Structure 1
Amino acid sequence: MRQIQAIALVLILGGLGYALWVLYSQPPLQLSAGQADHVSTQTAPLAPVKAATDVTLSAINTLPAPTTTADAPDLTPVSRLPEVNDEETYIPPISPSVAAPAYHGDLSDHQAYLVHQSAQITQLKQDYIAAVDKKVARLESLLEKGIRHQLPAEQLQEARDKIQGLRAMQAQLRHELAQ
């Protein structure tokens, strides 16, 4: 055991030595005048504080300079944002995650573990089949809304393809469970 520890220690120290050599052999960083001024203001020493009553906090000097409208990014005014209808906004349910049931059998019993795994896969397929109906209903309502708002045909076709794909997977999983 001591031999393995000694080898590990040699490898670690060798790696650290190599890292230090690489850092030492690199040329020093070249800073522009603006960067050098910025670095010097960040590393300037502070005056010692004599008593707690003499301390005053001044946030004015630490705030960034106000930006002008030329520097500001182009932001969309709030009045141009799309209307959001709270009744149709989807908010996913927030609940604690449910841990998968752990296997409590003998790990050396391969057949029992395969039965446990098979039960988990079957449950996953049943959960998917049950969830497809809700998801398809939501996608169909969004598709109808998209048709009313005259969205591009590509987007509408994408929604139809997703609905068709979900239904096809649901049918395939039902077929697999029936076997």
Structure 2
Amino acid sequence: MPLKGENAPRKALTKLHENLSFDFAEPVSFGWVRDLEHVTGFRPHAVAHFDRHRVTFGHKAEDEMSAKHEAGWKLERVELVSLLRSAEPGVYVSKDLPRMDQLSEVKRRPLDGFETVALRELRNGEPLVIRSQGGQVKMMGAVRAVKQCSLCHEVPRGTLLGAFSYGFRDQTSASASE
């Protein structure tokens, strides 16, 4: 079921996704591209500061997240959802988000039920899909092409290139201690 009211630190979750997406495709890593055969300075997309995102989410300012959520919700996982490598979407299984040039070495799993529904919503234009059930929150955020992506990926601006799938656990619930 969707998060509502006080249970929804949506602003903080949106900021977390924006920061992680920016880190993943940091503009300075694009280098200079004249055309696909003339590229210099490009660095593969990667999340260089993964642990920083875990810490940042747990220490948001009061205007972004209540003290209850600040202390209670723990980011347990972030996984990259692939939409371009094969006909079927898949999720890269890795303790830390892999660099794009290392993906051939990383195992993929099929989308789970939440991710399947969330991907449909992302394809329909939603930037972020958040659901809560029991002591867990699942979130999936779109990674869309910006102007700089268009040449290499050969897609129009705004095209859904992939997503990040997030899992959070409520550390204040009784089930969190099990």
TM-score of the superposition, structure 1-length normalised? 0.21
Compare CA radii of gyration and give the structure with the larger one. Answer: 1
Task: Tell me which protein shows more strand as a share of its residues.
Answer: 2
TM-score (norm 2): 0.21
Tell me: higher relative CO, structure 1 or 2? Use CA pairs within 8 A at least 6 residues apart.
2
